[in-house]
Amino acid sequence: MRARHGLSSRLARWLYSLAVCLLSPLIWWRVWREWLPTHPRRERLGFIAVEGDRPRLWLHAASVGEVVTAAPLIRSLLDDHPDHDLVVTTMTATGAERVRQMFGERVSHHFLPLDFPISARRFIARLNPRLAVIAETELWPNLLAACRRRGVPVVIANGRLSAGAFRLYQRFGALSRGMLETVAWIGAKSPLDAERFVSLGAPATRVTVTGALKFDLDVDDATRHASQQLRASWGARPVWIAGSTHPGEDEQALVAHAALKRRYPEALLVLVPRHPQRFDAVDAICRERGEQVVRLSARMPVNAETTVLLVDTMGDLMRLYGCADVAFVGGSLEPVGGHNLLEPAALGVAVVSGPHLDNLREIADTLAAGEARLEVADADELGATLISLFEDDDRRHRLGAAGRAVVEANRGALAATRKRIAALLNDS
C-alpha cells in the first residue's frame, strides 16, 4: 500500500507540474505586476542571489496578513538563532514592503519562485536553508519536493485549512498526501484544522494543536505612544476605524458613518482599504458622498471639518487601530472570510465585524464567547451598533477590555512553535 501511495503521489505531482507548465503564460502574467525595482523578476524562476556563508533559515509568508501574523515568530527566530541568517519570502509586493517596513535589514527578502520543478529546485539549491517555515498554509508541491530532496525539514506554523481549502485539497488527494507526508511538523490553529491535516495525509504524530499564532501579537510601547499622540491631535470626538475593507464594504462603512454623524456630527471615520490599488477609487467614493477627506499620505492636519481620514499608506493599521474607540474589521461584510480581529482586540479597542469569518472562525468564536466581539449583518446594523456603543461608554470599554483579556488568555502558540523549531534544528 505504501508503494502504491508513493507512486500515486509522484504521478499526481507529475501531472500537476505538467499543468503548471501549460498554464505558465497565464501564471506569469498574473505575477508580472507583483514586482519591486529592488527584486528582479528572475527571482520568480528561482534565480536568487544569496550572500554570506552563515547557515540560513527560511520563512515564507504569502502576503501582508501572513507577514503580520508571522511577525512575532520572525522576531523570535532572530532572537533564538542569532548565528543564522533569516530569509523571508512573499508572493506579493505589498507583503515584501511590509517585511521591509517591519524588519529592515535584519532579514533578507526574496519573492517566492513559481512552482515549476526546475525553478523550485534551483531556489532551494541556492538558498540551502537548514529549515523552512511556512506561515499559515500555502503549500507548493514542487517546492516541498525540493526541500525533501535536499533534506530540509519543513514546518507549517499557524496551520489552518478553511472549509473551502480543505475541499480543494481533498479533490487532489494524492497530491495533498504527497506534500503532507513529508512535512516535519504542523502547528495547527485548532483541533478542527489538525483533524483536516491528518485526514489529508499528515502523520498524526507530527501534528500539534498550538492555537492561533495571532494571539501572540506583541504591541510595543512605541506603537501605543504613537497612537496616543495622533489621537490627541484630533481632539475630543468619536473616532471609529474600518480596517482592511474590500469593495462593497467601503460604501457600507460610509452609510454607517452617515448614520453616526446624524447623532454625532463631529464623528471621524478612519477608512483603511485593504489593497493599495483601490486608494484613489475609495477617495472618489468618499468625496461623491460629501465627506471631507484627508489622505494620510498628504500629511495634512485632521481638523474639526474632516469627516474621513483615508489611510493610503501601508504598515500603519496597528497604530491607527490604537487611535480608535471602535474598530470594524473588514473582509467580513462581504464574503471574503475576514481579517485580523486580534489587532484591535489586543489594544483594548471594541471590535465589530460582519458575519463572513470563515478564515478565522475559531478566533471569531473565541472572541464572541468572551463577549469581546459584536457582529452586524449590514450597513444599517453597523450604523446602529456604532451609535449604541458611543452612547454607552461603559459598554464600549467593557467590550475593549474583554478583547484584551481574550488575547492574553490564549497566548502560547509562539512558545510551542519556537520549541519545536529548536528541536528540529538540533536534530538536523
Q: What is the CATH number of the domain that holds 50?
A: 3.40.50.11720
**Are residue 47 and residue 157 in the same domain, yes or no?**
yes
**Are residue 276 and residue 324 in the same domain, yes or no?**
yes
Backbone angles phi, psi at 375, to 5 degrees: -115, 135
**Are residue 127 and residue 164 in the same domain, yes or no?**
yes
**Are residue 185 and residue 321 in the same domain, yes or no?**
no
Confidence of residue 416 (pLDDT cuts 50, 70, 90): very high
Distance between first and last Cα of the chain: 29
**Are residue 195 and residue 227 in the same domain, yes or no?**
no
Nearest alpha-carbon partner for 21 in 118, 126, 146: 118
Contact indicator for 332, 356 with CB cutoff of 8 Å: yes
| Per-range mean pLDDT, top range of 163-177, 211-225, 392-406 | 392-406
**Residue 151, in any domain of the structure:** yes
Number of domains observed in the structure of the chain: 2
**Are residue 136 and residue 178 in the same domain, yes or no?**
yes
In the structure grid, which three cell numbers stand for residue 281, read together?
477609487
**Residue 398, in any domain of the structure:** yes
CA 143 – CA 182 distance, rounded (Å):
12
**Are residue 68 and residue 190 in the same domain, yes or no?**
yes
CA 81 – CA 55 distance, rounded (Å):
10
pLDDT at 3 over 60: no
CATH number reported for the structural domain that contains residue 337 in this entry: 3.40.50.2000
Task: Give the percent of the chain with pLDDT over 90.
Answer: 86
Contact indicator for 158, 193 with CB cutoff of 8 Å: no
Instruction: Report the pLDDT value the prediction gives residue 52, as an integer from 0 to 100.
Output: 87
Write the Ramachandran bin of 371: left for phi over 0, alpha for psi from -120 to 50, otherwise beta: left
Which contiguous run of DSSP H or E holds residue 21? Answer: helix 2-22
pLDDT at 1 over 70: no
**Catalytic positions:** 66
CA 237 – CA 202 distance, rounded (Å):
52
Instruction: Report the pLDDT value the prediction gives residue 351, as an integer from 0 to 100.
Output: 98
Beta-carbon contacts of residue 90 (< 8 Å; ≥ 6 apart): 60, 61, 62, 63, 66, 67, 96, 98, 99, 109, 111, 112
Contact indicator for 415, 210 with CB cutoff of 8 Å: no
**Are residue 233 and residue 194 in the same domain, yes or no?**
no
Range of the domain at 261: 221-409
**Residue 176, in any domain of the structure:** yes
Which contiguous run of DSSP H or E holds residue 268? Answer: strand 268-273
pLDDT in tens, 327-365: 999 999 999 999 999 999 999 999 999 999 988 888 999
Instruction: Report the pLDDT value the prediction gives residue 8, as an integer from 0 to 100.
Output: 83
**Are residue 318 and residue 240 in the same domain, yes or no?**
yes
Beta-carbon contacts of residue 79 (< 8 Å; ≥ 6 apart): none
More confident residue, 162 or 346: 346
* DSSP 3-state of 327: strand
Confidence of residue 7 (pLDDT cuts 50, 70, 90): low
Which one-letter DSSP state was computed for residue 202? -
Confidence of residue 5 (pLDDT cuts 50, 70, 90): very low
What pairs with residue 86 in β-bridges? 57
Question: What is the maximum alpha-carbon separation in the chain?
Answer: 72
Instruction: Report the pLDDT value the prediction gives residue 427, as an integer from 0 to 100.
Output: 86
In the structure grid, which three cell numbers stand for residue 256, read together?
454607517
**Are residue 56 and residue 205 in the same domain, yes or no?**
yes
Instruction: Report the pLDDT value the prediction gives residue 373, as an integer from 0 to 100.
Output: 98
Strand duo 308-310 + 293-295: pairing: parallel
**Residue 77, in any domain of the structure:** yes
**Are residue 7 and residue 136 in the same domain, yes or no?**
yes
**Are residue 96 and residue 144 in the same domain, yes or no?**
yes
Nearest alpha-carbon partner for 257 in 303, 308, 312, 319: 308
Distances (CA, A) of 345 to 219, 360, 374, 408: 11, 14, 12, 10
**Residue 216, in any domain of the structure:** no
CA 394 – CA 379 distance, rounded (Å):
24
Instruction: Report the pLDDT value the prediction gives residue 370, as an integer from 0 to 100.
Output: 97
Task: Give the percent of the chain with pLDDT over 70.
Answer: 98
CA 423 – CA 184 distance, rounded (Å):
11
Strand duo 268-273 + 350-353: pairing: unpaired
Sign of CA dihedral 70, 72, 75, 76: negative
**Residue 268, in any domain of the structure:** yes
Instruction: Report the pLDDT value the prediction gives residue 391, as an integer from 0 to 100.
Output: 98
Residue type, 246: H
**Residue 130, in any domain of the structure:** yes
Which contiguous run of DSSP H or E holds residue 155? Answer: strand 154-159
- Label residues 106-124 b or e (16+ Cβ within 10 Å = b): ebbbbbbbbbbbebbbbbb
| Residue whose entry in the numeric block shows the C-alpha cell 475609495 | 282
Alpha helices in 300-354 (DSSP H): 317-321, 342-346
Q: If you average pLDDT over every residue of the chain, what do you get? A: 94
Nearest alpha-carbon partner for 380 in 243, 256, 253, 247: 256
**Residue 99, in any domain of the structure:** yes
